[in-house]
Structure 1
Amino acid sequence: MPQLTQEDHFASAAERHFWDADYLRTDGRLPAADHLYGFAAECATKSLLLRFTEVSMDPKPGEATPSSKPWAEHPGDPDRLIEFGHVNQLVKEIALLAHGRAGAQLHLALGANLHVFKKWNVKYRYFDGGYAQADVVDRRRLAAHNILVLHQQAQLDGKLP
């Protein structure tokens, strides 16, 4: 059995989070669904980053153990690193990669879909849930779906659109 890569784990997690979110959304549990749509988009995006850009999970310079977050050298300052965090942060972080061909392609391909998550925040899991409005959750569902479709197509084609 082939060894799964971190890209594979992110891809699997993306699909799992998306389908769990759909189940919860259908049951009217919008805060939990919203949270999982964000994680689905995040995981699919991280899988794309690892597959098609210079982003890595290797040990960071001067460290011995693999990174817990995807990272890349900052294009403007090789002494700085970009760490790719939660989906709301990916909007800004991916824009930093737009200097290279693959980074620019990914930034363009993800486009507005990532921007839908700009106000999503992982700390909302501790909130009462009143923030989760049906129209916002529906927009995030569509954006997460679009990112997953992009990911699946890129896997099939072996390249970004």
Structure 2
Amino acid sequence: MDDYAHAGKRLHRDADYLYDQQRYATASHLYGLSAECSIKAFITQQPGQQKVPYKHIPELVDDAKRLVNGRRGSHLLNVISSPDFMSGWQIGNRYWDNRYFSQQQCKEFKHSANRALRCLGVV
């Protein structure tokens, strides 16, 4: 059984470890996956929502804006509606060379993922 909230927290914790080791490429990728898990966790909490979209950021954000509602969901919607939320992240970045990753960009991904996780209340 998928447990998106738990997976999001685990991925974020592992990304933090890699960030501290200055391994920004893989840390960046894991922060993105953590943010995706947070979004998917919210989607699964929606009444009548049986299926989680098999999509990644940024496409997943568009689905979440349509599917997520309610008081807790409004916090997530505020986070993911920010133009800088996971800006520049894409699932294919796992194939990029290390030189395309920077500490600053990774720090921004970390911040976005952390904000999404906080909406779930698991951080």
**Distance 1:127-1:149 versus aligned 2 partners, 3 A rule:** same
CA distance in 2, matches of 1:109, 1:29: 26
Give the AA of the match of 1:143.
Answer: S
The two structures, once aligned, show a CA RMSD in angstroms of 2.4
* Residue-pair matches, total: 120
Give the AA of the match of 1:22.
Answer: D
Tell me whether 1:97 sits opposite 2:91 in the alignment: no
Tell me whether 1:131 sits opposite 2:78 in the alignment: no
Give a deviation string over 1:66-96, Cα, whole Å, max 9, x none. xxxx1xxxxxxxxxxxx35112222222233
CA distance in 1, matches of 2:79, 2:85: 14
- Structure 2: give runs of 5+ residues left out of the alignment: none
Which is richer in helix? Answer: 2
Structure number with bigger Rg: 1
SS at match of 2:50: coil
Misfit runs of 4+, over 6 Å: none
- Structure 1: give runs of 5+ residues left out of the alignment: 58-69, 71-82, 154-161
Which is richer in strand? Answer: 1
Give a deviation string over 1:36-82, Cα, whole Å, max 9, x none. 0000110011001111354323xxxxxxxxxxxx1xxxxxxxxxxxx
With normalisation by structure 2, the TM-score equals: 0.82
Higher RCO (CA 8 Å, separation ≥ 6 residues): 2
